Chain A
Amino acid sequence: MVLTPAALIFSTLTVTAYVIANFIYLRFRKTPLNPVITTTVALVAILVLFDIPYETYMEGGDWIAFLLGPAVVALAVPLYKHRQLLQKNLVPIAAGITAGVLAGLVSGTLFTRWLGFADELILTVLPKSLTTPVAMQIASTIGGIPSLAAVFVMVAGFTGILLGPYMLHALHIDSPIGRGIGLGASAHGLGTAKAFEYGPESASMSSVAMTLAAVLGALLSPLVAWLLL
């Protein structure tokens, strides 16, 4: 990370776009206006329009992405605040998250293999249901492509919040624990935001699920990759 003019321009541009996107989202509150989507689309449009290579953009982008690591560490604080909820429901939470993480890793690997995708892409799809910072770091640890992994995490998140509620309803998953763990383990932060609509207990469950799924996913991804590839 070097402080070049490009670094200054593109980090400022990213923060500005993000602030505007959040403002728009808070004003209209429509799911497709999610700030991550709108900011990404706006920045991609600018890069394409002005023919700016991604590498040049990343001189500034790196300064922002630098905060991902400390942010993952910081996730310990909300989990610690929910420790009583976790203690009281330890068995159902642990069982549900283990089942979900395994189902996600195995199904993702098998589907991509059946369609004959290269190992690099399979390893990129693998951590899709984990919170973005963790998914990206896992992807780079096991040999996937971090920026593409972040895109799949978004696809997983939007699938979870747009189609998930119908599926939960159809399967009679209607308790705060079932909904919360289901949304958090599969659709990470976006799922947790959705879980708030079911009530505070579902939201807390989802937040716990998101964090624990990330930890378990970090442990199991290399193992599943090693076993199935």
Chain B
Amino acid sequence: MKIIRIIVQLLVLYGFLLIGEAIQALLQLPMPGSIIGFLLLFGALLLKIYPLEWIDAGATFLLSFLSLYFIPATVGVVDYGPLFSGKGVWLLPIVSISTLITMAAAGFVSQYMANRQAAKKEVS
């Protein structure tokens, strides 16, 4: 029975994706349809339009193999060997440095704001 429930819920997830893609195409949004589908599902869960139990098993199952689904894409690097033997090799340190800047900004700002919020609570 659990397998049937998972399959049905996977189809529901696919349904949200199709709706998201339809909205994206209809409104010409510069955003992936999957993100629109994600927002629709998150909204439906928050507003209690769609209960968690009707999607939980399928979503958890699908997400437990998440890294498998992008392996066909990473294998595509096979076609970009020449890029990395030339100037393109500079893209790697750029990505690394920009990643550390991202982490510093996100970590510092969130911690600073959390401390400020905590200090405010103590005063009041």
Residue in A closest to B57 when the chains form the complex, CB atoms: A77
A218 with B31, Cβ < 8 A, contacts A74-B59, A96-B113, A121-B88 known: yes
A178 with B111, Cβ < 8 A, contacts A39-B71, A97-B106 known: yes
In contact, A129 and B102 (Cβ under 8 angstroms): yes
In chain A, positions 148-196 with a C-beta closer than 8 Å to chain B are 148, 150-152, 154-156, 159-160, 163-164, 167-168, 171, 173, 175, 177-179, 181-187, 189, 191
A81, A97, A108, A222: the one contacting B110 at CB < 8 Å is A97
Chain B residues within 8 Å of A58, by CB: 72, 76
A73, A83, A150: the one contacting B41 at CB < 8 Å is A73
Chain B residues within 8 Å of A69, by CB: 14, 17, 21, 33-34, 37
- CB-defined interface of A203-229 with B at 8 Å, one 1/0 digit per residue? 000000100011100110010000000
CB of A9 closer than 8 Å to a CB of B = no
In chain B, positions 70-85 with a C-beta closer than 8 Å to chain A are 70-80, 83
Chain B residues within 8 Å of A183, by CB: 103, 107
Shortest C-beta distance, B114 to chain A (Å), equals 4
A167 with B102, Cβ < 8 A, contacts A57-B75, A77-B60, A178-B111 known: no
User: CA A74 – CA B35 in complex, angstroms?
Assistant: 10
In contact, A222 and B107 (Cβ under 8 angstroms): no
Q: What's the interface size class on B, roughly?
A: 35 or more
Chain A residues within 8 Å of B111, by CB: 92, 96, 173, 175, 177-178, 181
In contact, B10 and A70 (Cβ under 8 angstroms): yes
A70 with B32, Cβ < 8 A, contacts A65-B72, A159-B95, A177-B111 known: no
Residue in A closest to B105 when the chains form the complex, CB atoms: A103
User: CA A128 – CA B51 in complex, angstroms?
Assistant: 33
B88, B96, B107: the one contacting A181 at CB < 8 Å is B107
Chain B residues within 8 Å of A57, by CB: 72, 75
In contact, B35 and A104 (Cβ under 8 angstroms): no
CB of A43 closer than 8 Å to a CB of B = yes
User: CA A7 – CA B6 in complex, angstroms?
Assistant: 25
Most buried by B among A78, A107, A117: A107
CB of A47 closer than 8 Å to a CB of B = yes
B10, B59, B71, B108: the one contacting A77 at CB < 8 Å is B59
CB of B124 closer than 8 Å to a CB of A = no
A163 with B75, Cβ < 8 A, contacts A155-B92, A173-B111 known: no
User: Given known contacts A36-B70, A70-B17, A76-B59, what 5 new A-B pairs fall within 8 Å (CB)?
Assistant: A47-B78, A54-B76, A77-B41, A104-B99, A128-B98
What are 22 contact pairs spanning A and B, CB under 8 A? A44-B78, A61-B71, A69-B17, A76-B39, A79-B42, A80-B52, A96-B107, A99-B108, A102-B105, A115-B90, A117-B87, A125-B94, A125-B95, A136-B70, A148-B77, A150-B77, A167-B100, A171-B104, A173-B107, A178-B108, A183-B107, A213-B106
